[in-house]
A and B are shown apart, each in its own frame.
Chain A
C-alpha cells in the first residue's frame, strides 16, 4: 500500500510538473511579448529608448532561455537566440527588418509554447 501511495504522489507530482511547466512557459512568453511590444512601440515612435528596450529584451531572453531549456530544447529556441542577437545591429543600420525580426521572435516564442500543449495531433 505504501508503494501505491508513493506512486500516487509521484504521478500527481508529474502532472503538476507538466502543467506547471506549461504555466511557466506561458508566463515567460507574456513577459517576452511585453518587451517585444515595448521595443516596437519605441521604434515606431522613433524614440532613443528603443536601445534600452532591446537591451531589456536581450536580458530577458537570456533568463527565458535558461528556464525553458529545462523543459524543452528545440531549434526554435536557437532561432530566437539568433534573432535577438541580430536586433541591435539591425537597429544600428536602421533596417526595416528590425520589426519583422521582432515579429519572428514573437511567433517563435508562441510556437515553443504551442508545441508543449498536448493537442490530439501532437500526442499521436
Chain B
C-alpha cells in the first residue's frame, strides 16, 4: 500500500509537470492542478470498479493522497507567490495598446485564430479596439477594450439612474416563490390582482418575473 501512496505522489507531480509543460493552450477553465486532479481521480476511481481483483483500498489510498496533496499545494500557493507561479504559471499580456505581442504568442503557442476566436467570444471583432488582453493561467483570454471603443454607460450620457436590483423570478411553472416575491416587495394579493388583470390562473403561468418597481413579465404555459 505504501507503494501505491508513493506512486500517487509521484504521478501527481509528474502530471502537474506535464500539464505545465503543455502550456496554457491545453487548459480549459481549470487551473493546471485542478485539471490534474480531475484527470487522475476519474481514472483511479474506475480501476477498483472495473477490476474486482483489486481491493477498494488500492483505489481509496491514491484518491485521498491526491486530494490531500492538492489541498497542501493550494495552501502553499496561497502562502507563496513563487510556488503559485510554479504550480499555475502567471498571466501573460498578449495584446497591449492594440498591438499583438508576437513573442508571447509564439511562447504560448497561440495561433492568430485562437486569439481572434477568444476576442470574438467577448464581442470584439477588431483587434485595434483592444487596449489590453491577458492570457489567464486557465488559458482564457481577458480583454479590456479601449475607452473610446467602449459602449456609453448611463453615467457617460450624464443621466442619473437610481440603482435597482434586476427582476426576479417570482412564479415558476405555476408555483409562486414566496421568498423572491418578498424581496421585490410583492405579496400574494398583488399577484392575484395581476393574474386577474391578465385573465389567467396561477396554474397557467409558466414563468413570471418582477422587479422592485412592480414591472412584470408573464409567460403563459403553452403545453
Contacts and interface: CB of A to CB of B under 8 A. Distances in A.
A118 B8 CA distance: 13
Given A21-B1, A71-B1, A7 B72 contact: yes
Interface string A110-124: 000000111000111
Interface in B122-181: none
Given A18-B2, A122-B3, A10 B68 contact: yes
Interface string B36-62: 000000000000000001110110010
A122 B6 CA distance: 10
A82 interface: no
Contacts of B75: 4
B72 A19 contact: no
Interface in B1-52: 1-7, 10
A111 to B, nearest CB: 14
Contacts, number: 59
A123 B6 contact: yes
A18 B55 contact: no
Interface of A: 3-4, 7-8, 10-11, 14-15, 17-19, 21-22, 69-73, 116-118, 122-124
10 contacts: A4-B71, A14-B64, A14-B65, A14-B68, A21-B1, A73-B53, A73-B54, A116-B1, A117-B2, A124-B10
